[in-house]
Structure 1
């Protein structure tokens, strides 16, 4: 294996090192620009998606496969999904609170 190939492999491992959480199986979750269904949809996650949570904040109450919560997960700048659709293993915060 050449040096360039190894570097590419190392970069992939580094990229995957962040904690990722599974989105509920069978759901294409809408990603919104803020922590409420009143915010516009910016995209939809594909079936079987996993997400890295940058930070979390309170927003609109949502019921989903993992319970009812008002915690919203920030998965990228300006992108939020309800924690009710993310298997974090907790009913509380698993990441820092968003500013």
Structure 2
């Protein structure tokens, strides 16, 4: 029987997960009640790749500075890379801190 790596993105939805290292990748919840735009780069001037529904959780592979955004978790210039070429403002992700929780994107 074959198995696939999947991750829960919101209630009732699944998506193929990014490959993970030996240690499981942590995911973080988006702010309750917010649909969050995923952008192709670290700023609102980058194109919207997709929109995550309220209740989603996201992995953070790396983080980088970008455009300042205000959201439910404050105002920040930190942007979270959640997949190849996909970024969300850290102002909408509950990481438990105002600082970096992942390596800087190169």
TM-score (norm 1): 0.85
Aligned with 2:30 (options 23, 43, 64): 23
Runs of 4 or more above 4 Å deviation: none
Q: What's 2:97 paired with? A: 90
Which segments of 5 or more consecutive residues in structure 1 lack a partner in the other structure? none
Relative to structure 1, the CA distance from residue 63 to residue 12 in structure 2 (aligned partners, 3 Å threshold; closer, same or farther) is closer
Aligned CA RMSD, in angstroms, stands at: 2.0
Aligned length: 92
CA distance in 2, matches of 1:93, 1:43: 24
* Higher relative helix content: 1
- Residues 23-45 of structure 1: per-residue CA shift (max 9 Å, x gap): 00100000000000000001000
Q: What SS is found at the alignment partner of 1:84?
A: helix
Larger radius of gyration: 1
Which segments of 5 or more consecutive residues in structure 2 lack a partner in the other structure? 8-16
* Higher relative strand content: 2
